[in-house]
Structure 1
Amino acid sequence: KNIKCFNASEGNRQSVAEHSIGMLLSLFNNLNTSDREVRNGKWEREGNRGIELAGKTVGIIGFGNNGSAFANVLQGFGVKILTYDKYLTDYPFQNSMEEIYKQADIVSLHVPLTEETTYLADDNFINNFEKDFYFINTARGKCANTKSIVKSLKSGKLKGACLDVLEYEKTSFEDLSKIGFTDEMQYLINSEKTILSPHIAGWTIESNVKISKILTEKILESSI
């Protein structure tokens, strides 16, 4: 039928990158917990002592628009950045997964959901890491196996998880309360080791404008 399809992932890459950083900093500095405590009249300083991002090693898996934008934002934080993208063969500074497994303190997924990446972050993936680490997923929910994430949070192999996406999503707009929470989802909700958001990493006022402009430009260019 000669139907053309366009995407505009470059339009929300900055918002995804900033959201990833925001979730991580919130987790590192106990912002959600301490905010709730102060609102309830509790002034707890020592129990909310945070950790610094500087000096950590961050492994980025998937180095397209979102992964590269995340790396760019990270550069001002004094971290070591390791990147891996199976399909990016012409990038001269790419690392191996073995390097990420050995060195990473933080791992962030920025891959599309394909048959190959479904449940990419499973028991085997997590247990390959030499260090206990923090996990970020702003890609797609089914790129991570929730049972594996919860099991690793309980064991301490995962020190924390920042999840903007969940495998229970069918679209980006559902009311999860109508689906019914699994035991794993209930654990994620109750845990102080998690930061959750409803698939809004790429959902800013600016990204909405940029995506519209980029799609318009691509459509106009294709019709010339």
Structure 2
Amino acid sequence: MIKCLIIDPAHPSIIPLLEKIGVSPDYRPDITKEEVYDILGDYEGLIVRSKMKLDEKLLAKGEKLKFIARAGAGVDQIAADVLEKRQIKLFNAPEGNRDAVGEHTVGMLLCLLNKMHLANLEIRKKQWRREENRGYEIKGKTVGLIGYGNMGKAVAKRLSGFGCEVIAYDIRKNIKGDENGRLVSKEELFEKTDILSLHIPLNDFNRALIDEAYLSGFKKNIYLINMARGEVLPFKAIRKALESGKVIGAALDVLENEKLDTLTPEQSADFDYLCSCDNVLLTPHVGGWTFESYNRINEVLVEKIDIYLKALESKS
């Protein structure tokens, strides 16, 4: 029986799901990096979330590895080139948390446009300020999405009933528009966007892609949402765009550096500025992290593992 090491906390369903397809799970959510180095050679499978980077040095210890499964969407912490070289299959599960990301994006947008986060705090202080909390509607605006994969499409689907236009820009040739969102050129994205929402993976091309120059290219002043990876949108770029008024308000589920006790002096100054802004809404990277998605991610991963293992078996 194929043995699979699980090194991050997972929904309890992962164990029976793996056993059902003939995989023996070793659930070790408290394992240390040093321990992973010591025992990885005993396993054909590895399931991870975000505990550690899977670099070439660590992967060299997994001599028997047939597959690695990432319990989530992003695979930026995994050395994909090493896996390709060694013919180790890599799985992720964007289908498992795309619905959660779609809902969270719309929730943050509604909160930001209608100042709900501010009004709630003011009323608790017995401040009844109606005019100051007058908001804006999504209807009639153009929402521009950068990235139109699983996450972008989920957002567009949920926006379809709001009476807004959804356009999307994606450099991948295999991505198509649909009834909820229309693919456009970068020029049209810059021309029409009122609300910009980021849904791209982190890679060498996208790192710090949305910088001050990029944001200044939009014709209108925009609302900005980042549900992708913090490193695609540096602290400095957000601050400069807020200060200039190019960004009217920002909703951020991810940050350039999410280990807040390790911020550099420059990052710390920019982060403090963001925290001082009433037009900035922050959540702790929970956009895809609902109770439902926690389980659904397992179902998606195990289904992919099952298909892969059956294909391997049929070849042997």
Q: Which TM-score bucket, shorter chain as reference?
A: over 0.9
Quote the Cα distance in structure 1 between the aligned partners of 2:154 and 2:234: 25
From 217, 239, 262, the counterpart of 1:179: 262
User: 1:70 and 2:159 equivalent?
Assistant: no
Task: Tell me the alpha carbon deviations over residues 54-85 of structure 1, each in whole angstroms, 9 at most, x when there is no partner.
Answer: 00001111011001111111101110111111
Counterpart amino acid of residue 204 in structure 1 = T
Counterpart amino acid of residue 97 in structure 1 = K
User: 1:3 and 2:70 equivalent?
Assistant: no
Quote the Cα distance in structure 1 between the aligned partners of 2:309 and 2:237: 47
Q: Secondary structure at the match of 2:224?
A: strand
1:116-195 correspondence runs (5 A): 116-169=205-258, 174=259, 176=260, 178-180=261-263, 182-195=268-281
Counterpart amino acid of residue 32 in structure 1 = H
> Looking at CA atoms only, which structure, 1 or 2, has the larger radius of gyration?
2
- Shift in CA distance, 14/98, structure 1 to aligned 2, threshold 3 Å: same
Look up the match of 2:132.
Answer: 47
Task: Tell me the alpha carbon deviations over residues 112-144 of structure 1, each in whole angstroms, 9 at most, x when there is no partner.
Answer: 001110111101111110000011100000000
Q: TM-score, normalised by structure 1?
A: 0.94
Q: Which runs of 4+ in 1 moved over 3 A?
A: none
Please state how far the C-alpha of 1:183 moved relative to its aligned partner: 1.0
Q: Secondary structure at the match of 1:182?
A: helix
For the aligned residue pairs, the C-alpha RMSD in angstroms reads 1.3
Please state how far the C-alpha of 1:152 moved relative to its aligned partner: 0.9
Look up the match of 1:212.
Answer: 298
User: 1:221 and 2:278 equivalent?
Assistant: no
Quote the Cα distance in structure 2 between the aligned partners of 1:121 and 1:52: 25
Q: TM-score, normalised by structure 2?
A: 0.67
Quote the Cα distance in structure 2 between the aligned partners of 1:3 and 1:216: 14
Q: Which runs of 5+ in 1 are unaligned?
A: none
Q: Secondary structure at the match of 1:21?
A: helix
Counterpart amino acid of residue 236 in structure 2 = K
From 105, 111, 116, the counterpart of 2:200: 111
Q: Bigger relative contact order, structure 1 or 2, given CA contacts below 8 A and separation 6+?
A: 1
From 100, 109, 118, the counterpart of 1:33: 118
User: 1:198 and 2:284 equivalent?
Assistant: yes
Quote the Cα distance in structure 1 between the aligned partners of 2:307 and 2:272: 48
Quote the Cα distance in structure 1 between the aligned partners of 2:155 and 2:96: 14
The percentage of counterpart residues that share the same residue type is 43
Q: Do the aligned partners of 2:148 and 2:175 also contact (CA within 8 Å) in 1? A: no
Counterpart amino acid of residue 248 in structure 2 = K
Counterpart amino acid of residue 291 in structure 2 = I
Quote the Cα distance in structure 2 between the aligned partners of 1:154 and 1:193: 11
Quote the Cα distance in structure 1 between the aligned partners of 2:246 and 2:256: 20
Please state how far the C-alpha of 1:217 moved relative to its aligned partner: 1.2
Quote the Cα distance in structure 2 between the aligned partners of 1:125 and 1:53: 23
Q: Which runs of 5+ in 2 are unaligned?
A: 1-62, 68-89, 311-316
Counterpart amino acid of residue 35 in structure 1 = N
Q: Do the aligned partners of 1:63 and 1:88 also contact (CA within 8 Å) in 2? A: no
Number of positions where the alignment pairs a residue of Structure 1 with one of Structure 2 = 218
Quote the Cα distance in structure 2 between the aligned partners of 1:56 and 1:3: 48
Counterpart amino acid of residue 208 in structure 2 = Y
Please state how far the C-alpha of 1:90 moved relative to its aligned partner: 5.4
Quote the Cα distance in structure 1 between the aligned partners of 2:280 and 2:272: 12
